[in-house]
Structure 1
Amino acid sequence: MLQIEEIPAKPKEQKTIRVAAYARVSSEKDAAFHSLEAQTEYYRNYVSAHSDWELVSIYSDNGISGTTIHRPEFQRMLQDCRDGKIDLVVTKSVTRFARNTVILLETIRELKRLGIDCYFEKEDMHSISPDGELLLTLLAMYAEEEARSASENQRWRIQKKFQNGEPWVGKMLGYRFKDGNLVVIPEEAAIVRQIFTDYLSGMGQHTIAKKLFLQGVRPDNGNAWSGSSIRRILTNEAYTGNLVLQKTFCPDFRTKRSQINRGERAIYHVSNSHEAIIDQESFDAVQTELQARATLRSSNSAKTIKPYHLFHGLIYCGYCGRSYGHHRTNAKKYDKSVWACPTLYAMGKDICPSQRIPEDILIEKTKEVLAVDELDRDTLLTKVQQIIVPAHNRLQYLLADGTVVDAEWRHRSRSESWTEEMREAARQKTIERQRKGRKNE
């Protein structure tokens, strides 16, 4: 006789879901109303309301646009996802996650390949659902268009201010913007006058920067003094009581990178708009001196345009933030290449305690990180976003896929670092010294 026995299905094992919360505020004004503490408290309560959820971390970027992927906390979250620490990402809305369609879809697809879901509270939508990507595409296009519209409105407001002869940014060393006017700050104005006087007395831009640092004077933007920051002051017409508006502009709302206005946009000249700190005669004298020194440097340098060195524009100092430059030590004898922070070279270790890195070691470490046998500039630009030098004998690679790799290095011993040409030169020097010694006996 036929008998059928039902075997009940095993109850599904409840698995703890590791949750990450991502928040982003795009301006300091937003940050005032939606503080990190409030967000942290909200997400802790939100996650604790789900018995099978466990909060991994709350990642929050403040004052950074959603149109860019270069957000430190966003990148940290993605790295933790790649490291298998996260099962679910929770965020307020699609626009908080990203306002760039390409960034949004590429990120969602990568997380989906890793088996990680994203939940957007406002839209009540999961990215891993069957129709999730289609909805996300539509919402991302809307968010990007919204960002474009906001950028156009901002550009219009700036343009109207320029047409009315009003500066867009009212804070600079020596001035503050009050009640629609640039007002002189006496103690800062004295520093500006000192900079102009020192330059006309023969001091260089880097020497002036070092002098200000040793005096304890800080730039108005909070960054370190440099030759370029001194030059910006020396060439700023605003110190004469006149304004030149829209000297730079931002061509792409996604990147938000400014470029020099070389005629692509209108430029506005405003005369006698505010109280001067530097008289016109002194300002003109400084411009003449700047040109004279530039001409002298040009006549002493090679006339041909040199190609970029291998790591040009990729290495950044962890102490002062400036981009490392390529240098040669004992070039006539050994042709040895090193990379160093320009602040260290120009003003010394008192200002920037960074470290020179031999290029051969840099190449060797980069090959190890990228797992390649040969290294060229195209490979670097394709695979590396930045190389940070956070401390002595340390390198931090931010790769194109968002991965962060730390590496350590050490100076080679003399026996390791000397080439055969260097050894031969040392031998000849020893022989010559011994020959002179025998002649004197």
Structure 2
Amino acid sequence: MRFAFYGRVSTEDQQDPEASRNWQKARAQTLIEGDIVTEHFDIGQSRSIPWKRRPEANHLLNALKDPDRGFDAVVIGEPQRAFYGNQYGLTFPVFVHYGVQLWVPEVGGQVDPESEAHDLVMSVFGGMSKGERNRIKIRVRSAMAAQAKVEGRFLGGRPPYGYRIVDAGPHPNPAKAADGKRLHKLEPHPETAPIVQRIFTEYLDGRGLFAIAEALTNDRIKSPSAHDRARNQHRSGIAWSKGAVRTILANPRYTGRQVWNKQRKDEVLLDVEDVALGHATKMRWNDPGSWVWSASVVQEPLIDTDTFERARTTLAGGGRTRKTRERNRVRRTYVLRSLMYCGVCARRMQGHWNHDAPYYRCRFPYEYALANKVDHPRNVYLAEHEVLPVVDHWLTTLFTPGRLDTTVRALYKSQTDSTPNPSTTEATRVVAECDTKLARYRAALEAGADPKMIATWTSQIQTQKAEALARVPAIPSQPQRMAEEEIREFLGTLGDIHTALDEAVADDKSAVYQRLGLKLTYQPDTRIVQAAVNIDTRPHSHGPRARSGHKNNPTEIPWGYGTCPEGDLNPHAR
């Protein structure tokens, strides 16, 4: 028989992906009678993510539909890694439908779809997988809470503005210390610590958030995102914002105590009407009463506790005496959410409900200090109903038979060159050399070398490796180029875009725009909207599925590829 192998390793497992793949495949190989002809191995995907949202698992599901798939069965080395909770019950019927066998070691071979015992065993392993993940979460959170409260240990993450991370000695765990792991702590940054103290002083003296931001920008003091560009590449850093000032005033770590559990990760259903899509992780703020404070001061404080409490009380009252302010949130539907950009500052425009209709606005001067003389209108407004009809018409004409040749050529020419970036190549080389040296140090340690000397060497190499890895994410990866015929063939799977956009409800239409990679840039001076499509064939591993058609009869919209710029769209010139 011909087999396809499936395995998975996540970043939560703290395992070497190649080593994990090898032992899972070896376990699968000893079970089967035949050859493994193809492999699907997900790296960095949590077990809680459903198969359709794991890139390699989704490829495998799609391969099942192909009569010329090239394999007769699928073998899994460890079912706990493949199935979580009720995923087996949602996935195995697909195998049965397409006549593909599933083999796992825990049942001694092929899973019999008619066997209640096999069904029970696989369901139990799914439950065990879910229980194991939950137990790990509980243990880790309990340990981190104790380390923060009792030891005041710095538990990682970016340092607050005003502090920097410094070495705090070897790790207390001997095994981790032998691997070069070090503890870290916070110490005042010589350049930014006085700025934090200035912010608290001026705020308690009666100066407002915006006035403080304006003064800091006017004095040419770098904002937090401009000061630490490596950790804030997603922000412009053009000026201080009142939001940055507010965040500093609300951060209790400036009192010298370690504070943990300010935020939590909640798993929220992507679609309450389709539970099989799984959950998405959302970061949410915890109530201050559940924050974990260190029992003692563990780092040099920038302000005293009384100063912080007075600032927090004033801030919570909106500058007045009341401590809380209630807001009733109403969920509005914005079809172009996250797709509309301001042509002046290049920031995403915010959805704003006005006169019972959706609008998009950019209030850059309201949020950021303008002492840097940025030429930006105080408010940039655009009505959604002025844009949607023109965008829909443009998209439908873009993929009509008469325009298809032009669209294909534009997509082909717009593809970026996939030639490796020299900086990426150099960083990859450094990482490989560091891994080689670390392997030698580990062998020397096992052979009886001095642990202190090995720990020193390992720490130096780990630092070099971290610096090299930090340079890699800043360089965007380039997709593989596609030929014109491949693009044309793929565009043929898009279906009738006109019908999809004409009949889709608001949420589904927004999902279609997301899948098409639509980006709209509004130029307020000329009142022109520029539109571009960036269609990507790579699988989408998060977020809701995109659907088209009527809400009662949705159809999947696949991915496209490349960037296809089009001329200006002027919603005011019909």
Give the Cα separation in 2 of the matches to 1:370 and 1:156: 53
CA contact (8 A) 1:394 1:406 kept: no
Structure 1 residue aligned with 2:128: 142
Structure 2 residue aligned with 1:57: 39
Give the Cα separation in 1 of the matches to 2:19 and 2:105: 19
Structure 2 residue aligned with 1:119: 103
Match of 1:184 among 181, 186, 196: 186
Instruction: Indicate the SS of the match to 2:503.
Output: coil
Give the Cα separation in 2 of the matches to 1:259 and 1:373: 36
Residue 406 of structure 1: how far off its partner (Å): 1.9
1:70-109 correspondence to structure 2 within 5 Å: 70-82=53-65, 85=69, 87=71, 88-99=73-84, 101-109=85-93
Q: Deviations over 1:395-423 (max 9, x none)?
A: 45945399772247866656xx455x635
**1:41/1:104 Cα in 2 relative to 1: closer, same or farther (>3 Å)?**
closer
Q: Which amino acid aligns with 1:56?
A: T
Give the Cα separation in 1 of the matches to 2:338 and 2:58: 18
Give the Cα separation in 1 of the matches to 2:56 and 2:107: 23
**1:92/1:250 Cα in 2 relative to 1: closer, same or farther (>3 Å)?**
same
Match of 1:405 among 541, 544, 558: 558
CA contact (8 A) 1:86 1:116 kept: no
Give the Cα separation in 2 of the matches to 1:133 and 1:97: 15
Q: Which amino acid aligns with 1:60?
A: D
**1:290/1:390 Cα in 2 relative to 1: closer, same or farther (>3 Å)?**
farther
TM-score normalised by the chain length of structure 2: 0.48
Report the count of equivalent residues. 370
Give the Cα separation in 2 of the matches to 1:55 and 1:268: 52
Q: Deviations over 1:317-338 (max 9, x none)?
A: 9xxxx9965469xx99xx9967
1:6-405 correspondence to structure 2 within 5 Å: 17=2, 19-27=4-12, 29-31=14-16, 35-36=17-18, 39=21, 43=25, 53=35, 55-62=37-44, 64-69=45-50, 70-82=53-65, 85=69, 87=71, 88-99=73-84, 101-127=85-111, 129-131=113-115, 132-161=118-147, 163-164=149-150, 166=152, 169-173=155-159, 174-175=164-165, 178=168, 183-184=185-186, 190-191=191-192, 201-203=212-214, 217-219=229-231, 224-225=234-235, 232=247, 235-250=250-265, 257-262=282-287, 266-270=290-294, 273-276=297-300, 278-280=302-304, 307-311=331-335, 325-326=349-350, 359-360=388-389, 368=497, 371=500, 373-377=502-506, 379=508, 387=515, 389=517, 393-396=533-536, 398=540, 400=545, 405=558
Q: Deviations over 1:276-299 (max 9, x none)?
A: 36334986798699779999xxxx
Q: Percent identity?
A: 10
Q: Which amino acid aligns with 1:166?
A: G
Residue 164 of structure 1: how far off its partner (Å): 2.9
Instruction: Indicate the SS of the match to 1:30.
Output: coil
TM-score normalised by the chain length of structure 1: 0.59
Which structure 2 segments of 5+ residues have no match? 173-182, 200-208, 269-278, 321-326, 375-381, 396-493, 520-531, 548-555
Q: Which amino acid aligns with 1:236?
A: N
Give the Cα separation in 2 of the matches to 1:323 and 1:115: 50
Q: More relative contact order in 1 or in 2 (CA 8 Å, sep 6+)?
A: 2
Q: Which amino acid aligns with 2:573?
A: M
Structure 1 position 422 matched with structure 2 position 562? no
Residue 96 of structure 1: how far off its partner (Å): 0.7
CA contact (8 A) 2:8 2:42 kept: yes
CA contact (8 A) 2:213 2:245 kept: no
**1:240/1:410 Cα in 2 relative to 1: closer, same or farther (>3 Å)?**
same
Instruction: Indicate the SS of the match to 1:393.
Output: strand
Instruction: Indicate the SS of the match to 1:68.
Output: coil
Residue 214 of structure 1: how far off its partner (Å): 6.0
Give the Cα separation in 2 of the matches to 1:395 and 1:369: 17
Instruction: Indicate the SS of the match to 2:4.
Output: strand
Residue 109 of structure 1: how far off its partner (Å): 2.3
Q: Which amino acid aligns with 2:229?
A: V
Instruction: Indicate the SS of the match to 2:6.
Output: strand
Q: Which amino acid aligns with 1:114?
A: Y
Which structure 1 segments of 5+ residues have no match? 1-15, 296-302, 349-355, 424-441
CA contact (8 A) 2:148 2:293 kept: no
Give the Cα separation in 1 of the matches to 2:307 and 2:3: 64
CA contact (8 A) 1:24 1:97 kept: no
Instruction: Indicate the SS of the match to 1:119.
Output: strand
**1:373/1:20 Cα in 2 relative to 1: closer, same or farther (>3 Å)?**
farther
My pick for the range that moved more, 228-237 or 68-77, is 228-237
CA contact (8 A) 1:170 1:176 kept: no
**1:266/1:338 Cα in 2 relative to 1: closer, same or farther (>3 Å)?**
closer
Q: Deviations over 1:113-158 (max 9, x none)?
A: 3333332245534345432433312221232233333333334334
Between structure 1 and structure 2, the one with the greater Rg is 1
Give the Cα separation in 1 of the matches to 2:215 and 2:559: 37
Q: Deviations over 1:357-390 (max 9, x none)?
A: 9655666769839946423245469x78964849
Give the Cα separation in 1 of the matches to 2:245 and 2:89: 43
My pick for the range that moved more, 202-211 or 36-45, is 202-211
